[in-house]
Amino acid sequence: MPRNIPENSLYVEKALQHVFLSKLYQLVWASEDRPLLEVSTAEIDNRGYDVVLSLGGVTRHVQLKSTRLDGKRRSADINVGLAEKNSGCVVWYEYDPATLKIHHFLFFGGLPGERLPDLTKFKVAKKSRGTAEGVKTDRRSVRLVPRSRFKSVGSLEELLVHLFGELPRQSNGSKSCAR
């Protein structure tokens, strides 16, 4: 029986982030003639992204979302600040709650260098907790993007192409991306 997910949600979120990044690192590492992946994390998540990924001259501000394999979540809450970043995008993955293994990816965003689609046309999210009167107020900087607007991605390799495009090979055969 898996542990209580809601009670350990921050633990699960961080563990899944590490699993995802580890898999990305491994995939890029296996391509010896390509530059290495650079990863930075947001200390404060108030602009809509969790990690900044750079590879081969492309930098992506990425919001990470997760849902259990049997989860019913039909939309993702996305901070409008993410749309201000060039190449901002959302990676949504489904995971097995018993093992924290990631099984499927969804992607929302444009090509490298493009901004997100206009988020202001999506429904404004509500706060999860109500006021003393029980009224759930708007989260004006957050929009609910339906799952149907995300592209289903078949593999991590395919996701890497969505994130960074077809990566050029390094001309000097080096594993580093010194500039």
Report yes or no on 158 lying in a domain.
yes
Report yes or no on 1 lying in a domain.
no
The CATH number that applies at residue 142 is 3.40.1350
46 alpha carbon, distance to own chain's centre: 15
- Over the stretch 27-44, which tens digit does the pLDDT of each residue have? 999 887 778 999 998 887
> Nearest 10 degrees: CA dihedral of 16, 59, 116, 41?
40
Provide the 10 A C-beta neighbour count for residue 178.
6
Domain that holds residue 96: 6-164
- Over the stretch 75-93, which tens digit does the pLDDT of each residue have? 999 999 999 998 999 999 9
How many whole angstroms separate alpha carbon 154 and alpha carbon 169? 24
Report yes or no on 144 lying in a domain.
yes
- Counting the structural domains of the chain, the total is 1
Segments of the chain with pLDDT less than 70: 1-2, 167-179
Report yes or no on 170 lying in a domain.
no
Report yes or no on 100 lying in a domain.
yes
Report yes or no on 31 lying in a domain.
yes
Report yes or no on 45 lying in a domain.
yes
Full-model pTM: 0.86
Supply 39's token pair. 């990863």
Report yes or no on 40 lying in a domain.
yes
